[in-house]
Structure 1
Amino acid sequence: MIHSCSEERKMMILWSLCLIFALSNSILVVIASPSQHLCLPDQRDALWEFKNEFYVDSDVTNFEKMTEKWRYNTDCCSWDGVSCDPKTGKIVELGLISSSLNGPLRSNSSLFRLQHLQSLDLSYNNFSGILPDSIGNLKYLSVLRCSSCNLHGKLPSSLGNLSYLTHLYLSVNDFTSEGPNLQLVLPKLSSLKSIDLGSNQFKGTLPSNMSSLSKLEYFGMSGNSFSGSIPSSLFMIPSLLDVSLERNHFSGPLEIGNISSPSKLRYLIVGENNFNGPIPGSLLKLVGLEYLDLSFWNTGRGIVDLSFFSHFISLRDLDLSGIHLNISSTLHLPMINTLTLSSCNISEFPKFLENQTKLRYLDISANQIEGQLPEGFGRLPRLWYVNISDNLFSGKLTMLPNSTRLFVGSDNRFSGEIRRGICELFGLQVLDLSNNNFSGSIPRCLESFNTTLWVLHLQNNSLSGVFPEESISLGLISLNVGHNQLSGELPKSLINYTDLKFLNVEGNRINDTFPFGVSLLPHLQVLVLRSNEFYGPIYSPRDSLSFPNLRIFDISDNRFSGVFPSDYFVGWNAVSSVVEVEYYGRISVFAGGIRRYYYSSVVLTNKGVKMELVGRVFTMYKIIDVSRNRFEGDIPESIGSLKGLIVLNMSYNAFTGHIPQSLTNLTNLQSLDLSQNRLSGEIPPQLGKLTFISRMNFSYNMLEGPIPQGTQIQSQNGSSFAENPGLCGAPLEDTCGGGGEEEETEQEQDEEKEEKEQVLSWTAAAIAYVPGVVCGLTIAHILTS
């Protein structure tokens, strides 16, 4: 009995523990259960539908595919880019920056069902359409950002309904307006603190009365086509801090107006407009200015005294490019961070610069400054960006400040050797000493920069000797040593410079075989070996020669030889595509808290004319020039896959065979030169249908037959087809009708011969048929009897 009670007690304790455990576990499950989402179903459904209105690029990183991470059965308030009101569950913020959304933003988009949105950021997507009027339905919006979204058309007038809007960013699109639309919208946005409509296509004038924007702090309209005057009422807004109106067509005097209290304006950027007359003295009312850009102000014959700007005691950044200046030797300016005095008609190195110990950025390019750089210049402790190009500096290049990151000293008269002291600038990123009179060898110490040196441009000097292996930094993006007297071989270590995009060694005495290793450089876009002593084949069965990003290939005027295999140009993806995906030519340099850009360039021949490609032009031109070598054999059919090609020059070689029919696929071709070869056969008739081609040359070959008909071909000079004895038709004087009757007779004879052969064939068949039937019947009779 005692034993029985003890067992019962144990069982009761056990059951009690189990019950407690089960209850506690249930409580934990309820607490931790996600079954009750903060996000409301209608909000989730609207977001999900919005996601499905677009397609996402398959080649972008997972980090950018924000909407691809959304899961329908989860709390949408936890989705990337989504924020909800913790009390109501309504979505109040949606930020899908750079989410690779492609497709139009429709007027009936489910986005506009999110009526409680307060912040919407869709910047850096590809909507390729208009900003629909439905945007005005989001009446609680205080922040709207749609910069760089490929939007166009007029601003929707419904923006004026967004009475809570404080921040409006629609820059870098293609919005257009003749003025009235913007003039109607802007004054209604009385809560606006910040607006940026820069880099669009706006025209017309700004609203004359800006007083309704009483809370405005930032006003950005740069890079448009606004005209007329800047309303003085803008500067009378007491909260205004920054004004950015550069690169427009504003004109007339700049009127600051009557400012009753000290202005808070810090940034005034109005350069590259059409202002004229004297610099207005009313600028001195803006006592708190830190950044002032008046570049390319047309003062007529007036000369501006730089001492005028010494009154701005808070000034840190000053750009007076394009204004004729008078600079006193006793001038004292406030300590400046960035100073741009390009094209200011300065003839002496400004003495005051030697005392600017906080100076980080200096541009005094395109002046007439003579003599050597003063020693005090080399002692400036913070200077990192220096552009003294296009002046008359001479003598040896003195020591540069140790802090230098970018030095552009091109287009001067510097001479002597490039001093080894340049290699002590351990943070150097860009070195451009092109178009001077430097002699001696390339310093062998440049490899000390390891990965910091991105740009090395030494073209158009008198540098000599062998190109040293140890002269290049592993981080190089652009290397140009063209038009010197360098000899020997190219450094074999080039294959290690995996960031290299631009390689130009033209106009030297380099004696080497083709650098097959450069095909392994994944980012190479420009390869120029022109006018050297390179020799041998440019194809090797064991070396792949696929240049996926190459767009300019110039190996002309060398001693290359051999044949091109038919698949030689397979894998040249950048030239095969007519779509641009990368902006080469601009190299971003960041130091000292400032981002600046440096532009590479190359001189090439197009349509018989030498031209310099700079910056964005690199994305427009795709060129192959193998002229003036010793190539032979057929022109490869794979040339027709290069549909983005603009210039093709294969002249002065020994190519044989027919002109490839695949050339007719090159619908973007503007210049074609196949002259001075041994090509035979006809000119493909379809070449006459290439509408962009404006220069072609087939002279000095063995071509025959009629010249194709087509506006572009017929507009060529007869010399483009000269010395091809078998060619006939316009624009040559030889017509193609001389042997017409004889050809017709031969054709008739051929047809008559063919008919006779057919008759004989049928006769023979009939003769063979009769005995066959008789023989068959005889055999059948014998077998059945």
Structure 2
Amino acid sequence: MESWKQDIDCCLWDGVMCDNTSGDVIDHELSCSWLNGTIPSNSFLFHLPHLQHLNLAYNYFNHSPISFAFGQLSRLRYLNLSYSMFSGQVPYELSHLSKLASLDLSGYGNVSLETSVVKRLVQNLTKLRELHLDHVDMSSVSLSSFMNLSSSLTSLSLNNCLLRGRLLDHIFRLPNLRELRLADNPQLSWFFPMVISSKALRFLDVSYTIHDSGELPKSIGELKFFRHLIISGCNFYGPIPTWLGNLTQFTLLNLSANNFAGEIPLSLSNLKALSSLDIRSNNLSEILFGNNNFKGQIPSSLSYLKDLNFLGLKENNIRGKIPSFLTNLKKLTSVFLSYNQLSSFGEFQFSNSLEVLALSNNKLYGSIPKSLSNLANLSYLDISSNDLTGIVDIDMFSVRNTE
């Protein structure tokens, strides 16, 4: 912090903001500032009674504990200590920060929370709108501790927290909750409520958790403004429901690594705003869009998804040709079709936007199409484990990389 010199007004220091009237320090924005070492409890930082915003994210505090003295900053509205190499237990004194609207303690698995501290945080931080605790060890925390989360909460992120047991559906009923991230908690089970009183939810990531019923809850279809749904690895089964096509605000839909079977419904072609579709690693033995007679092939209705940039259909039973209509998807950057039953390139001519093409472990035969060398932005190509002849023009990669 080169500007932090005693002969310079601290309000002119990098990352420091002061109140224009009183001159009190109210904001420390010190993320990614190469700070290292420890923060002792007698640090000057804890003698800034008017501080409202403190961001220490992405620094290196040498596995030191989070100081109890943070609890002295009673006017804090924003506190971010994420990914700064703190370690140990989160101190209960943080629950004294009753004015907090945003708290982020996410890290690398070195910080842990106990049930008693979670209860105090939930009880006292009634103004919280954002709570992010990704990779915080909560293996000993009772899920009932979250029962009284603030109704003002708009974003809750608990990815990879070693949560265990069944999550109360109260969380899904929080009236203002827009984003909920629970991914990578393989011992966490949940059940989406049958009736939803709140329609605020826009983003849900519950990948690699356990859904109790195994079927995609119909009540999700009531969330008309839903934009992102990520349910990878949740052991869902049965057909992909047609009502997903009613959620026309979707920009990302990830149903991969489940046991969905049968056909992809024609209704998915209604998702005109969709930019990422991933249904890899399912049991979709018949891919059939309505009466289009594309049984077992990639459905032509995908051509309606003009904003699509990611297409994941790996590990299914897709047959036939790679369809030429994919050429019309001008924003497509990534195509994953490995481990299917594709037999022919057909009239292969993808858009130049393509960066990733994975076609390994199919039944492709014949000559490698020369049009592959026209993909000027291609950075990854896998056509291994097929019955192809010919060569790929490796020069197209080397020329681009030297530009």
Compute the TM-score of the two structures, normalised by the length of structure 1.
0.42
CA contact (8 A) 1:681 1:702 kept: yes
Amino acid of the structure 1 residue aligned with 2:184: N
Distance 1:512 1:663, change over 3 A: closer
Query: Displacement of 1:729 after TM fit?
Result: 3.3
Return the match for 1:376 from 75, 93, 101: 93
In the alignment, which residue of structure 2 is the partner of 1:523? 249
Structure 2 gaps of 5+ residues are: 17-21, 394-403
Distance 1:703 1:385, change over 3 A: same
Distance 1:639 1:567, change over 3 A: farther
Distance 1:720 1:336, change over 3 A: same
Return the match for 2:324 from 661, 672, 677: 661
3-state SS in 1 of match to 2:270: coil
Determine if the alignment matches structure 1 residue 315 to structure 2 residue 25: yes
Aligned alpha-carbon RMSD (Å): 3.6
3-state SS in 1 of match to 2:286: strand
Whole-angstrom CA distance in 2 between matches of 1:320 and 1:673: 40
Report Cα offsets for 1:282-303 as digits up to 9, x if no partner: 22x45xx4x86438xxxxxxxx
Query: Displacement of 1:722 after TM fit?
Result: 5.0
Q: How does 1:328-407 map to 2 (within 5 A)?
A: 328-331=40-43, 332-346=47-61, 347-390=64-107, 392-397=110-115, 398=118, 399-400=120-121, 401-407=125-131
Distance 1:519 1:730, change over 3 A: same
Amino acid of the structure 2 residue aligned with 1:390: G
Distance 1:505 1:692, change over 3 A: closer
Whole-angstrom CA distance in 2 between matches of 1:507 and 1:319: 38
Query: Displacement of 1:408 after TM fit?
Result: 0.8
Higher helix share: 1
3-state SS in 2 of match to 1:425: coil
In the alignment, which residue of structure 2 is the partner of 1:533? 259
Q: How does 1:136-535 map to 2 (within 5 A)?
A: 276=2, 279-283=4-8, 285=9, 289=11, 293-294=14-15, 314-321=24-31, 322=33, 323-324=35-36, 326-331=38-43, 332-346=47-61, 347-390=64-107, 392-397=110-115, 398=118, 399-400=120-121, 401-415=125-139, 416-450=141-175, 452-469=176-193, 473-488=198-213, 489-535=215-261
Whole-angstrom CA distance in 2 between matches of 1:385 and 1:352: 18
Distance 1:423 1:550, change over 3 A: farther
Whole-angstrom CA distance in 2 between matches of 1:393 and 1:470: 35
Determine if the alignment matches structure 1 residue 700 to structure 2 residue 372: no
3-state SS in 2 of match to 1:519: helix
Return the match for 1:559 from 267, 273, 283: 283
CA contact (8 A) 2:104 2:131 kept: yes
Structure of larger gyration radius = 1
Whole-angstrom CA distance in 1 between matches of 2:380 and 2:149: 57
Query: Displacement of 1:641 after TM fit?
Result: 5.0
Report Cα offsets for 1:396-449 as digits up to 9, x if no partner: 352322221111111222223333444341211111111211111122222442
In the alignment, which residue of structure 1 is the partner of 2:19? none
Distance 1:672 1:294, change over 3 A: closer
Query: Displacement of 1:670 after TM fit?
Result: 4.1
Whole-angstrom CA distance in 2 between matches of 1:706 and 1:386: 54
Amino acid of the structure 2 residue aligned with 1:683: G
CA contact (8 A) 2:224 2:247 kept: yes
Amino acid of the structure 1 residue aligned with 2:52: N
CA contact (8 A) 1:676 1:700 kept: yes
In the alignment, which residue of structure 2 is the partner of 1:26? none
Whole-angstrom CA distance in 2 between matches of 1:676 and 1:328: 55
3-state SS in 2 of match to 1:354: helix
Amino acid of the structure 2 residue aligned with 1:707: P
Return the match for 2:391 from 721, 730, 738: 730
Amino acid of the structure 1 residue aligned with 2:26: R
Report Cα offsets for 1:99-126 as digits up to 9, x if no partner: xxxxxxxxxxxxxxxxxxxxxxxxxxxx
CA contact (8 A) 2:69 2:93 kept: no
Whole-angstrom CA distance in 2 between matches of 1:722 and 1:676: 9
Structure 1 gaps of 5+ residues are: 1-274, 296-311, 569-630, 733-785
CA contact (8 A) 2:357 2:380 kept: no
Amino acid of the structure 2 residue aligned with 1:324: N
Distance 1:698 1:684, change over 3 A: farther
Whole-angstrom CA distance in 2 between matches of 1:692 and 1:718: 10
* Greater RCO (CA < 8 Å, at least 6 residues apart): 2
Whole-angstrom CA distance in 2 between matches of 1:674 and 1:343: 37
CA contact (8 A) 2:285 2:296 kept: no
Query: Displacement of 1:460 after TM fit?
Result: 1.2
3-state SS in 2 of match to 1:438: coil
Q: How does 1:605-616 map to 2 (within 5 A)?
A: none
Amino acid of the structure 1 residue aligned with 2:129: R
Whole-angstrom CA distance in 2 between matches of 1:704 and 1:532: 33
Identical columns (%): 24
CA contact (8 A) 1:316 1:336 kept: yes
